[in-house]
Chains A and B, each alone.
Chain A
Amino acid sequence: MTRTEAELKLRQIFGFSRFYDEQWKAISALLQGRRILVIERTGFGKSLCYQFPAVLFGGTTIVFSPLIALMRDQVTALRRRGIAARCINCEETPEDNEKSLQEAIDGKLKILYIAPERQENEHWLEAVSKIRLSMVVVDEAHTISQWGHDFRPAFRRIKNLVRNYLPQDMPILAVTATATEKVQHDIEIQLGNNLEVIRGSLMRTNFRLYVIKTTSEEEKMVWLKHHLQGLPGTGLVYAGTRTQTSLYMKWLQRQGIDAVEYNAGLDAQTRKEIEEGFLSNRWKCIVSTNALGMGIDKPDIRFVIHLQIPASPIHYYQEIGRAGRDGKPTDIILFFNEQRDENGVMADYRLPRSFIDSARPSERKYLQFIEALKEEPLSEKGMMMATNMKQTAVRVIREDLIEQGIIKEVTMGRQKFYEYRYDAPELDYSLYSSLNAAKLEDLQQMLDYVETKQPRMEFLCRYLGDHEEIDWTRTCDNTGLPKLTIEVQEADRLDVQDFKENLFPELSFKRIPNMLTGVAASYYGDSNVGRIIHHCKYENGGDFPDVLVRQTLRAFRYRFKNKKFDIILYVPSTESGDLVRNFAHTIGKILKIPVSDGLVKQKETKPQKIFEQHYGKADNVKDAFTCQNQKEIMGKSILLIDDIYDSGATIKEIGRMLAKAGAAETAPLVIAKTVGGDNI
């Protein structure tokens, strides 16, 4: 088919008059049964590269896509054009998924979108053996690479399928908007020989890139207070943690700015409502974790503000890339708190660093796991029990071991089991060390972005392997745009202080029986409270001072104003002596609630803070506590006091124990709650 003939069809079916050269290059190669990787920026029209040939082919094109929202949008758009397309994923009803499969088997579908996880589903595998297949597409192809910024283990089997099994003359298309040369190279290896690469320009000429360096969290808040409302249009404020989304939403609302928070912790319905409101510009801004925006097709996001540096320039490019698809000027702002702690670590470096450090369990756990599976096949639950590890750890190890070909997943009846492979290779843990090193290097690059004197867009493009030369003038604060600065007035400082003192972070325990939502007097980091606690605990600073007592009492009244408690228990300390005990007795005296010393440890534990991983913390305190006098708590309302709430593992463990021992309800009250990355 010539380009002219193809463009005639393009007009008839899709209503566009012509292809971009790179689109046509991909399409004509696919029509010849070749294998193509297309790396083009968001908004380029990558989907057309497979949608067009899919319509021409006789059978069904399977598109493996990790983004459910995107799948749905694409299906709707295709059906509007009269192209038979459907999608299969966990959010559709089983009936709808069944119908989609049947239509594919009956040869009625041109395009079938499917989540990569389905490749593990027996039902799908049964069905796909009956579908006439014309092409396979791997969407968001950077997610198939361990070195990519959003690695999805679920793609493992798709990679294997494409690389090793699908016939060489079957057209295969992989598409992504963001792949460094390293990731591109990895995709080429993962998807096998003969992958031709088409790489386009990643330059976003409508972006105005700024970096604002700060020495405190407070300064970020003050800048937003004065400038956010003045930014044109609506946009996104990305925060590093869920706690931060809620904190900044409250701060912005206090300033009269129409803001809402979004994170993966919200229920599905709320999330959907916010997504819809986002599309119709219902709020000035959405304070979100990076969960929002991926795969949402909104052309007019006018600004993206990062309160925290992402893990790498590629994450950053990907997250800001969601903005300004309409080509109009768009403001891209990155905050960076460079205040160093006593170890010389910069404040905003801590959180992303902690994510990297806690990504993987220790080698010993991997080996423990393998030994268990040599004995018998185990389900996920069975593995958790056999190894005494948490689900998250089990999942990480499981995926890694499958990837390494040491264990395999099999379906018995309806349940999935994991089995040791006969003749399996030895565990190669060094792989994870090098992955870790690569991630640290990526993070370093992000710091370099903050410090660079280079045109910022040039920095990002080079990092992503785009070496195009263009005029960078007025694309960022290094090339002619004004530097953005912050001036904190006394009134601002008081405003922030008042805000923080009345924040009272919630401690929520949905899965623990008889556990009430508790309260913290303050956040730990970036506040005096954290510093005071640290001084008392680790620098022999004596009992917690009155200011903490007062602040804690305020939090108590804020949260439990009309609540009656029968007894106060406190968490027995591992290393800070009687600090918490004395604190609890002081509080008890003021509130006139009897304090019991009956909550004790029945096994030796280590300080929770030495565990980098949550599962380590949970293991450390498991079954560690007991109540000496069960009568004391039977049927009682308990106020449970501790100094710092970090992972929550201790409080949760005690809550479970108390419920089991017959407590009617337990409400935690702590002095400070940490935010991800806090150094306690």
Chain B
Amino acid sequence: MEKNELPYWMALAHLAGIHTADKMKILVQCHTRGEQLSDFFKASDEIKTVQYLLDSKLIENINSCIANIPNYAFMAENLQEQGFEMTAIWDREYPNQLKANLKYNAPIFFYSRGDRALFNKPATAIVGSRKSGQVSLDFTRKVAQREVAHGKVIVSGYAKGVDRQALESALQAEGKSIAVLPQGIMTFSSGYKALYKYLVQGKLLIVSYFQPKAGWDVGLAMARNEIIYGMAQDIFVAESDNKGGTWSGVQAGLQRQRKNAQDISIFVRMPDQTEKNANMELIACGAVPVDCEGNVVENKRPLETEDIKRKMIELLTGRELKAQDIAIKLQLDWSKEKLKSFLENMESEGVCKYRRGRSNVYAIKVVEPRLF
């Protein structure tokens, strides 16, 4: 793309009060007409109404930012000068996988630094919560090493915990990585300094689609998760809570998978029984369980669960216990809800709930002997 188109792209990308999908519709119109984005901006209101089918409010909104084009020109020059690159959705460098996955919701414009060729290399995302434990970090490292060995680019979000582990492991294994920032591309100086050699050697691509000077923000962090999932064919989840970025990202991914029957796979690390996370729930929703080496576990119901069931039946045979006491005796580090639903699911094994005064207790239902 011509550099003098960039200010128009920046203007559209950062224009508030209009959905990404609507911006995308404008771009599709432009593209099918064989026009540049600047042509659209410069077009008369009539053309914007008749050909682009925009309402007057939207036209007013778009026209109002035309005066800012020279300002974006200064910004674009400065960005380029500082070594940043800009990629629009119809540039050949734009990540195709992302376009295919997010369709009209894909960001129309990226800022980046490093080797843009990584955008279109087969990629694996490794994700997980910021507070992941050592088990998850080990998992991340192993998966990153294995994927890198298979020539995959590791995509992550440069958050603490799993994200950073993924990036570091990939680079240490002589692999390549993409980091999707939860902030503007220009507010990452310390990162560029730390990662300088990898950037110079073409092993790393740093990406952001927010206002270049935007600081870290929880909203931005949530929004960028979708991009991480969207860029990868394979997604490995090291650890997820039942809410937050990782959770909602995976849910969205699973939904897309169902809806579009796309060729993306979501793998979730199978937790052991002492973990508090929601990995099992993701597996229940359809994600593929993998062991701590990242290999697919054939049996979706892990052995551990069977063990727990067996132990519970032993425990409850001949006595009544409150849920809380069961947890203590079996050393289960589960949430109340998890434990409750687990016990309720054991009805077929004969576990029943009884009311005793103000509290509930569980026991094995005694089957009366029959005479005949």
Chain A positions within 8 Å of B, measured between CB atoms, are 59, 119, 125, 128-133, 136, 157, 160-161, 164-170, 374-377, 408-413, 419-423
> Which residues of A are found within 8 Å of B69, using beta-carbon distances?
167, 170
Pairs A–B under 8 Å by Cβ, sample size 24: A129-B71, A129-B74, A157-B77, A160-B81, A164-B80, A165-B3, A165-B76, A166-B4, A167-B4, A167-B38, A167-B69, A167-B73, A170-B69, A170-B70, A375-B197, A408-B82, A409-B82, A410-B82, A410-B192, A412-B193, A413-B189, A420-B200, A422-B83, A422-B200
A409–B4 touching, CB < 8 Å: no
Nearest-neighbor residue (CB-CB) of A402 within chain B: B81
* B235: interface (CB < 8 Å): no
Given contacts A129-B71, A169-B42, A410-B82, contact A419 B196 (CB under 8 A): yes
The 8 A-B residue pairs with the shortest CB-CB distance, nearest first, are: A164-B3, A165-B73, A133-B70, A161-B77, A129-B71, A166-B73, A408-B83, A165-B77
CB interface residues, B 52-92, toward A, < 8 Å: 67, 69-78, 80-83
* Complexed CA–CA distance, A403 and B6 (Å): 21
Given contacts A165-B4, A167-B38, A408-B83, contact A125 B74 (CB under 8 A): yes
* B161: interface (CB < 8 Å): no
Nearest-neighbor residue (CB-CB) of B41 within chain A: A167
Given contacts A165-B6, A165-B7, A419-B83, contact A160 B71 (CB under 8 A): no
* Complexed CA–CA distance, A59 and B200 (Å): 41
* B215: interface (CB < 8 Å): no
Q: Please give the distance in Å from B259's CB to the nearest CB on chain A.
A: 38
* B323: interface (CB < 8 Å): no
The A/B interface has a contact count, at CB < 8 Å, of 85
Q: Please give the distance in Å from B172's CB to the nearest CB on chain A.
A: 19
Q: Please give the distance in Å from B187's CB to the nearest CB on chain A.
A: 12
> Which residues of A are found within 8 Å of B316, using beta-carbon distances?
none
B71–A408 touching, CB < 8 Å: no
Among B4, B67, B73, B113, point to the contact of A132 (Cβ < 8 A).
B67
> Which residues of A are found within 8 Å of B82, using beta-carbon distances?
408-411
> Which residues of B are found within 8 Å of A377, using beta-carbon distances?
193, 196
Among B74, B113, B202, point to the contact of A161 (Cβ < 8 A).
B74
Nearest-neighbor residue (CB-CB) of B75 within chain A: A129
* Complexed CA–CA distance, A420 and B201 (Å): 10
* Complexed CA–CA distance, A376 and B76 (Å): 25
B189–A412 touching, CB < 8 Å: yes
CB interface residues, B 175-214, toward A, < 8 Å: 189, 192-193, 196-197, 199-202
* Complexed CA–CA distance, A419 and B6 (Å): 24
> Which residues of B are found within 8 Å of A408, using beta-carbon distances?
81-83
Nearest-neighbor residue (CB-CB) of A132 within chain B: B67
**Chain A CB within 10 Å, residue with most, of B76, B81, B199:** B81
> Which residues of B are found within 8 Å of A421, using beta-carbon distances?
83
> Which residues of A are found within 8 Å of B289, using beta-carbon distances?
none
Per-position 1/0 for B120-135, Cβ under 8 A of A: 0000000000000000
> Which residues of A are found within 8 Å of B77, using beta-carbon distances?
119, 157, 160-161, 164-165
* Complexed CA–CA distance, A409 and B83 (Å): 8
* B114: interface (CB < 8 Å): yes
* B115: interface (CB < 8 Å): yes
Nearest-neighbor residue (CB-CB) of B117 within chain A: A423
> Which residues of A are found within 8 Å of B74, using beta-carbon distances?
125, 128-129, 161, 165
> Which residues of B are found within 8 Å of A423, using beta-carbon distances?
115, 202
> Which residues of B are found within 8 Å of A168, using beta-carbon distances?
4, 38
Given contacts A166-B4, A377-B196, contact A128 B71 (CB under 8 A): yes
> Which residues of B are found within 8 Å of A422, using beta-carbon distances?
83, 113-115, 199-202
> Which residues of B are found within 8 Å of A419, using beta-carbon distances?
83, 196, 200
Given contacts A164-B77, A422-B114, contact A376 B196 (CB under 8 A): yes
Nearest-neighbor residue (CB-CB) of A131 within chain B: B71
Q: Please give the distance in Å from A346's CB to the nearest CB on chain B.
A: 44
* Complexed CA–CA distance, A620 and B69 (Å): 53
> Which residues of B are found within 8 Å of A164, using beta-carbon distances?
3-4, 77, 80
> Which residues of B are found within 8 Å of A129, using beta-carbon distances?
71-72, 74-75
* Complexed CA–CA distance, A165 and B70 (Å): 8
Nearest-neighbor residue (CB-CB) of A168 within chain B: B4
B70–A167 touching, CB < 8 Å: yes
CB interface residues, B 24-42, toward A, < 8 Å: 38, 42
> Which residues of B are found within 8 Å of A376, using beta-carbon distances?
196-197
> Which residues of B are found within 8 Å of A409, using beta-carbon distances?
81-82
Among A161, A375, A411, A413, point to the contact of B73 (Cβ < 8 A).
A161
